[in-house]
Amino acid sequence: MHNKSRTRSHPIIVFLFPALAAMLLAFATGALYAGEALKNVSFIPHWSPQAQFAGYYVAFEKGIYRKYGINLDIKMGGPHSVPVDLLEKGEADFGTVWLSTAIQKRSQGVRLVNIAQIVQRSALMLVAKKGRGIARPEDINGKKVGLWRDEFRLQPMAFFKKFDLHVKIIPQSYSVNLFLRDGVDVASAMWYNEYHTIISSGVNPDELTSFFFHEYGLNFPEDGIYTLEHNFKKNPAGACNFAKASIEGWLYAFKHPEEALDIVLKYMTTANVPANRVHQRWMLSRMKDLVLPEDDKSITAGTLTKQDYLRVAGELRRNGLIGQEPAFDDFYKECVKYAEK
């Protein structure tokens, strides 16, 4: 009995800025920092190594962080290393956190700031077998639905409410085996992970009905880069350099997927995590869809829009998970504003 899982969250800090500008600035800053002493910085991803974090490993391996004057230490993520905890304790300077988690943590008093919103779209989805008679949201009514806990329930619950669905919720564990063996009709899945696990267990995509929340007005951006507010204030440019370098790493990974996979698999092997290249390739290409959605040109890599922020915060408030919505400007630090200082 084994498996993956998702993320906890905490609030605050932001940044927005165009990918191209990031690339251009990257070279400029690279030169700028060439002669200076590198700054020691640590980073904690919210899960063990996998392509979900390819951008950071690639940026590190390709020397992009050093180019930005950062001597980075990537800490091993996993179920026992929760980024928000490490940030709070000062054991890490930067970490990845889900937006909904971060907003909750911020409202609970952890002064997180978002300096880059990496994942623009929800990878969280519901998946069902067509063979069980589910083709549209209405078909879910009265069915057994496997749901994860906490923030993984926000969107599904809002979705059920939206379509007035009454379902039997089954707590979903770490595997999708219950779904595969028809113990539930609908399962939660991360698009880049469990969905492919289902495909890799012999179910064909055309046998599945997929419900992507962003298609139903329930887009919750997920992974973002966070630091503590006082750290950010001490050195906004340094924080933003980390964000920029990370984005540059992502862009490089998308452009050179096989090289990125080699890097990711190397980290997975080191971490003694089962490493399946096909699965990681799927994950990386889905990450590209989530970080740089091709069908929406208005999205800029690394940017958190106020609209997305308010949607998530509002949903949290309505569910009583936060009292008041933290101010957007306090929560998100748009890195373009802090460049080169």
Partner 1 sequence: MLRNKGIAFKLVLLFTLSSACIFAAIFTYNYFVSRQMIEKEIKENAGNLIMTTTNRIEAMLSAVQKVPENIAYFLENSTNDEQELFQVLYAIVENNPEIYGAAIAFEPYGFKKDKEFFAPYFYKAFGAMNFKYLDKHYNYFLWDWYQIPREIEKPQWIEPYFGEGGGIIMSSYSVPFYKKVGGKRRIAGVIVVDISLKSLRDIVSSIKILKSGYGFLISKNGTFVTHPLKEFIMNETIFTIAEARDDVKLRDVGRKMIKGEQGIAPMWVKSAVTGKSCWMAYVPIQSSGWSLGVLFPQDELMEDITSLNQIVLFLGITGIILLGVAVVFIAGSITGPLRHMAKATEHIGSGNFDIELPPVKTGDEVGKLSEAFSFMKESLKEYIRELTEATASKERMESELKIAHDIQMSILPKTFPPYPERTEFDIYATIKPAREIGGDFYDFFFTDDEHLCFVIADVSGKGIPAALFMALTKTLIKAKATMGLTTDNIISRVNEDLCIGNDMSMFVTVFCGILNVKTGEVQYTNAGHNPPLLIKRNGDVAYLEKSGELLVGVMEGVQYTARRIMLGRNESLFLYTDGVTEAMNERDELFSEERLKKELSKDQERTVDQVIHAVMREMAEFTGSTPQSDDITMMMITYKGSL
What are the residues binding partner 1 (CB under 8 A)?
A: 1-2, 144, 170-175, 177-178, 180-184, 199-202, 204, 274-279
Three-class DSSP category at 182: coil
Closest distance of CB 68 from partner 1, Å: 35
Residue 294: other Cβ atoms inside 10 A:
8
> Smaller CB distance to partner 1: residue 168 or 337?
168
* Alpha-helical segments (H) within 74-183: 83-89, 99-107, 154-162, 177-180
Report, in Å, the least distance between residue 198 CB and partner 1.
9
Q: Give me the least distance between CB of 104 and partner 1, in Å please.
A: 22
Q: Are 96 and 7 in contact (CB under 8 A)?
A: yes
Strand arrangement of the beta sheet that strand 94-98 belongs to: 70-74, 39-44, 94-98, 223-228, 112-117
**Whether 14 contacts 338, CB under 8 Å:** no
Nearer to partner 1, 145 or 228 (CB): 145
Q: In this structure, what DSSP letter does residue 78 have? A: B
The CB-of-41 to partner 1 minimum distance in angstroms stands at: 33
Q: Which is nearer to partner 1, 112 or 208 (CB)?
A: 208
By beta-carbon proximity to partner 1, the closer residue of 125 and 261 is 261
User: Cβ of 185: how many Cβ atoms within 10 Å?
Assistant: 21
Smallest gap from Cβ 305 to partner 1, in A, equals: 35
Task: Provide the H-helix boundaries in 165-256.
Answer: 177-180, 194-199, 229-234, 236-255
Left if phi > 0, otherwise alpha if psi is -120 to 50, otherwise beta: which for 182? left
Nearer Cβ to partner 1, position 56 or 191? 191
Q: How far is the CB of 184 from partner 1 (least distance, A)?
A: 7
